[in-house]
Amino acid sequence: MGLKNIWRIGGKSINIVSFGGGTNSAAVLVGLHKHSIPVDLILFADTGGEQPHTYQFIRTMDDWLVAHGMPQITVVEKYDRSGHRLTLEMECLRSCTLPSIAYGHKRCSQKHKIGPQEKFCNHYPPCREVWAQGETIIRFIGYDAGEMRRYEHSKKFNDTDKKYINRYPLIEDWGWDRSDCVREILAAGLPLPGKSSCFFCPSMKQPEILALKEHYPDLYQRAIAMEDKAMPHLTSVKGLGRSYAWRERFGAADGGPGPC
């Protein structure tokens, strides 16, 4: 079923884009505009630990969206039970742990990315109206044609969600791989967003860690502080690098909270 047809199911649904701040999700927005697919809501879940280039790109993307008659990005955040802002960094420091992906889990993404977006939609009147009418929300997700394994895993999981129809237009409709996404973003007059990840992400490659230390030493210091807090409690991993500690491989940073 094509995108234009799925938009007309029941005539009552709305289109949501899950925006991650990186190349693929930017390409989704460019592609939706290029193919005249309406967008009603764009959500970005801020973990509180995004790198500066991502926050800058969101501002740049907002300007482009306004200029092209599309809604600006709505930023959502994680809050604790008392209603206080809870960043992923705060959570790790309080519990003296590393992000769950360091241990081979994806709970940090579920809790600080997916969860806040779903909670926003659960309280968003247009979404509630759609569900009250027995319809489903159309949600666009940005996996490209070179990520078939991630796509198949995500599709299998998301297809069980009765509140959303999940679409992967880069794969299912346009066949765009990463190089296509880059080309379309540049052709739209946008800069490339750079990689979207927390500045303390255990999935960062060594050149990315070194670039962080060089260009954003304050953020590198905060990542080392997180690692130091968790270090006395680590058993299955050695540090943020999983098989190694950032401090040991790339050097120490001054200051930061003491160990738990």
Q: Average the pLDDT over 142-154 and give the result.
A: 92
Task: Please answer whether residues 131 and 14 qualify as being in contact, where contact means their C-beta atoms are separated by less than 8 angstroms.
Answer: no
Kindly report, residue by residue over 33-69, the tens digit of the pLDDT: 999 999 999 999 999 999 999 999 999 999 999 999 9
Residue 9 has pLDDT above 50, yes or no: no
Length of the chain: 260
Indicate the CATH number for domain 3-187: 3.40.50.620
Residue 135 has pLDDT above 80, yes or no: yes
C-alpha to C-alpha distance for 163 and 178, rounded to whole angstroms = 29
Question: Which pLDDT score, from 0 to 100, does residue 11 have?
Answer: 53
Q: What's the pLDDT band for 259 if we cut at 50, 70, 90?
A: low
Question: Which pLDDT score, from 0 to 100, does residue 254 have?
Answer: 55
Question: Which pLDDT score, from 0 to 100, does residue 260 have?
Answer: 63
Cα 239 to Cα 53, 93, 107, 204, 221, distances in angstroms: 25, 14, 18, 13, 14
Report the percentage of the chain scoring pLDDT > 70: 92
Kindly report, residue by residue over 97-126, the tens digit of the pLDDT: 999 999 998 889 899 999 999 999 999 999
SS3 content of the chain, % helix, strand, coil (to 5): 50, 10, 40
C-alpha to C-alpha distance for 196 and 21, rounded to whole angstroms = 6
Task: Please answer whether residues 163 and 136 qualify as being in contact, where contact means their C-beta atoms are separated by less than 8 angstroms.
Answer: yes
C-alpha to C-alpha distance for 30 and 68, rounded to whole angstroms = 10
Kindly report, residue by residue over 82-91, the tens digit of the pLDDT: 999 999 999 9
Task: Please answer whether residues 17 and 140 qualify as being in contact, where contact means their C-beta atoms are separated by less than 8 angstroms.
Answer: yes
| DSSP letter assigned to residue 174 | S
Q: Which residues contact 185 (CB under 8 A, 6 or more apart)?
A: 23, 26, 27, 30, 191, 192, 193
Q: Average the pLDDT over 183-189 and give the result.
A: 98
Question: Which pLDDT score, from 0 to 100, does residue 94 have?
Answer: 96
What is the distance, to the nearest Å, from the Cα of residue 97 to the centroid of all Cα atoms in its chain?
21
Kindly report, residue by residue over 234-249, the tens digit of the pLDDT: 999 999 999 999 999 9
Question: What is the radius of gyration, based on Cα positions, of the chain?
Answer: 19
**Token pair listed for 4:** 């234009």
Query: Where are the domains positioned within the chain?
Result: 3-187, 206-250
Question: Which pLDDT score, from 0 to 100, does residue 12 have?
Answer: 64
The mean predicted confidence, pLDDT, of the chain is 92
Residue 6 CB neighbour total at 10 angstroms: 15
Question: Which pLDDT score, from 0 to 100, does residue 256 have?
Answer: 47
